[in-house]
Amino acid sequence: MSTKNQNNLIARPPVVVIMGHIDHGKSTLLDYVRKSNIVDGEAGGITQHVGAYQAEHIGADGKKHLITFLDTPGHAAFCSIRERGAHVADIAILVVSAEDGVKPQTIEAYKNIKNEKIPYIIAINKIDKPNADIDRTKQSLGENEIYVEGWGGDIPCVPISALNGNGVSELLDMVMLVAELAYLSTDPKASARGSIIESELDTRKGISATLLIKDGTLTTGTVVVAGGAYAPVRFIENFKGEKIESGIASMPVNILGWNTIPACGTDFITVKTKKEAEKMVSKFEAEQRRSSSKLAINVSAKKPEHIGDDKAPTIVTIPFVIKTDVIGSLEGIKHELSKIKQDKVIIKIVSEGIGEINENDIKIAAGDPNLILIGFNAAPDKKATLMIERSPIPIQIKNFSIIYELTNFIQELVTSKIPKEYVEEITGRAKIMAIFSKDKDKQVVGGKVESGIIESGNEIRIIRRDAEIGRGRVRELQQQKKRTDEVREGYEFGTLIDAKIEIAPGDRVEAIKTIEKK
């Protein structure tokens, strides 16, 4: 493995992460810069994956400058992807709508930027909108301790319209100025190193991963190692899917042929031989096993919590198999599911993975009629489709392409599965004044309603000396020797009560109704 040689250092393009609240125009900005149409290609018009692209900018000096852009999702579900984007970037552009000002994901993105200690620029977007107010937006930023130039701080701020391009050139000039001050450099003779941006499984091509090279040069014939995964570099694709001879610093590239799916956000290095790669992976896996065994010892040492002597509440478990197109989507879905809190319903992920829904997924689903198979941009492959058609048990499959539609479905499902609870409500109380007759379990008594209403058909509690001694039911009611359906507070009555307990004068009865607990 080579390291930077100070004598070989040359400037490299900046890696810029675009962050901000959902629908504040991050993808539209990137769309304008690339002169392509990303937004229309995204389900629901929201970014759901991290994207890495390169664009040329002709600066104020008339020279061409290459810039690498990372587009991150603004939706709350994808916090880990935003963190990953901020971790690998050199500079951040925090996009804030001139209409809406600072929003929850604006604050979260800002915190990610500050945690990574990278320089950043505020882009106040949508200045073309009728309700746009740049000063109000700057005030909103200040209220959240983001102080821009001219408003008590030194953070560069550029008003733009990502839709028509106003101010975008000035924003990119500012990016290049910040990059110049950051002295970004690389040793082109060093072995490539960087981070895994995204990974996915294609049933035809195998496992592929998008890499962002932060230093050195990636060449064919070497082997990339990222944690417990490695891939011989047989060929390199740029972000357009074109085969290239080598990958240089700040370039996003795609590499196929991994032995296993590399974890997103993992740093990678390159080695010369497969033997070296396998040795590094073995060492990594051994360290993981040691960490796991320590964790297992700590967990087993804990005493189980005692909930109490009461009966355990009814718990409903909803089992899922989740398949997604890429690792980032799986992270986002699991993050959203972790926020669905319900004491009496458990969400259980039986199996998860990336790629198409396959035979194994269908076999798992067929083993449990309650299991739901969730596909996020992941449809059943041919063999799985045949299995679904021939299965004697209906397989529950739900496909989604928009994250919030998936989470809404699961939230509604969880709500519908909450076990119903019932409580007893006292509707009336009466004192027994006299006993007229008794025949087995049937007793004719007289009493007076002290509160509420006693109705024919009521279930009753029989109370003696403030303690319940038994239960019964009102079969008939009479008031002033006439049959009636109910007797109200203050009135005397006669009634036929069906009860195994012998009622005595002075006892009280409470009429109760069982109702569903809200």
Q: pLDDT tens across 17-67, in order?
A: 888 887 777 878 888 887 743 334 443 333 334 467 888 888 877 888 889
Dihedral angle of Cα 35, 48, 67, 160, to the nearest 10 degrees: 60
Q: CA-CA distance, 85 to 265, in Å (whole number)? A: 8
| Enclosing H/E stretch for 177 | helix 168-182
**Regarding predicted confidence, which is higher, 115 or 505?**
505
User: Taking residues 240-259, what's their average pLDDT?
Assistant: 90
| Enclosing H/E stretch for 505 | none
Q: CA-CA distance, 261 to 237, in Å (whole number)? A: 18
Supply the pLDDT for residue 434.
Answer: 93
Which of 77, 19, 25 lies closest to 48, judged by CA?
77
In the chain, the percentage of residues whose pLDDT exceeds 90 is: 39
Supply the pLDDT for residue 369.
Answer: 84
Please say if the pLDDT value at position 399 is more than 70.
yes
**C-alpha angle 494-500-506 in degrees, rounded to nearest 5:** 50
User: Taking residues 464-485, what's their average pLDDT?
Assistant: 92
In the chain, the percentage of residues whose pLDDT exceeds 70 is: 88
Contact 501, 469 (CB under 8 A): yes
Q: CA-CA distance, 148 to 504, in Å (whole number)? A: 83
pLDDT band with cut points at 50, 70 and 90 for residue 302 = very low
Supply the pLDDT for residue 45.
Answer: 38
Share the mean pLDDT of the chain: 83
Q: What pTM value is reported for the model? A: 0.61
User: Taking residues 335-348, what's their average pLDDT?
Assistant: 82
Please say if the pLDDT value at position 135 is more than 90.
yes
Q: For residue 318, what are the contacts with CB-CB under 8 A and spacing of at least 6?
A: 345, 346, 347, 348, 370, 372, 413, 414, 417
Domains of the chain from N-terminus onward: 10-185 (3.40.50.300), 193-278 (2.40.30.10), 316-417 (3.40.50.10050), 422-516 (2.40.30.10)
**Regarding predicted confidence, which is higher, 159 or 382?**
159
Supply the pLDDT for residue 262.
Answer: 86
pLDDT band with cut points at 50, 70 and 90 for residue 379 = confident
User: Taking residues 418-434, what's their average pLDDT?
Assistant: 88
User: Taking residues 398-417, what's their average pLDDT?
Assistant: 84
Contact 89, 250 (CB under 8 A): no
Least confident span in 73-87, 203-217, 420-434: 73-87
For residue 364, give the 3-state DSSP assignment. Answer: helix
pLDDT band with cut points at 50, 70 and 90 for residue 299 = very low
User: Taking residues 201-230, what's their average pLDDT?
Assistant: 89
Supply the pLDDT for residue 215.
Answer: 93
Please say if the pLDDT value at position 311 is more than 60.
no
Please say if the pLDDT value at position 186 is more than 50.
yes
Binning the chain into helix, strand and coil, the percentages to the nearest 5 are 25, 40, 35
What is the token pair recorded at 8?
Answer: 């070989």
Contact 106, 23 (CB under 8 A): no
Q: 3-state secondary structure string, 91-129?
A: EEEEEEECCCECCHHHHHHHHHHHHHCCCEEEEEECCCC
Supply the pLDDT for residue 352.
Answer: 86
What is the token pair recorded at 196?
Answer: 């895994």
pLDDT band with cut points at 50, 70 and 90 for residue 416 = confident
**Regarding predicted confidence, which is higher, 290 or 165?**
165
Supply the pLDDT for residue 51.
Answer: 65
pLDDT band with cut points at 50, 70 and 90 for residue 307 = very low
pLDDT band with cut points at 50, 70 and 90 for residue 121 = very high
Supply the pLDDT for residue 83.
Answer: 56
How far is CA 196 from each of CA 121, 254, 313, rounded to the nearest angstrom? 25, 10, 44
**Regarding predicted confidence, which is higher, 160 or 56?**
160
Please say if the pLDDT value at position 514 is more than 60.
yes
Q: CA-CA distance, 25 to 96, in Å (whole number)? A: 8
**Regarding predicted confidence, which is higher, 461 or 395?**
461
pLDDT band with cut points at 50, 70 and 90 for residue 157 = very high
Supply the pLDDT for residue 31.
Answer: 80
What is the token pair recorded at 374?
Answer: 């969730």
Q: What are the pLDDT digits (tens) for 58-114? A: 887 788 888 988 866 533 433 454 455 567 889 999 999 999 889 888 888 888 888
Least confident span in 100-109, 115-124, 294-303, 360-369: 294-303
For residue 391, what is the DSSP state?
A: -
143 alpha carbon, distance to own chain's centre: 28
Q: CA-CA distance, 69 to 174, in Å (whole number)? A: 14
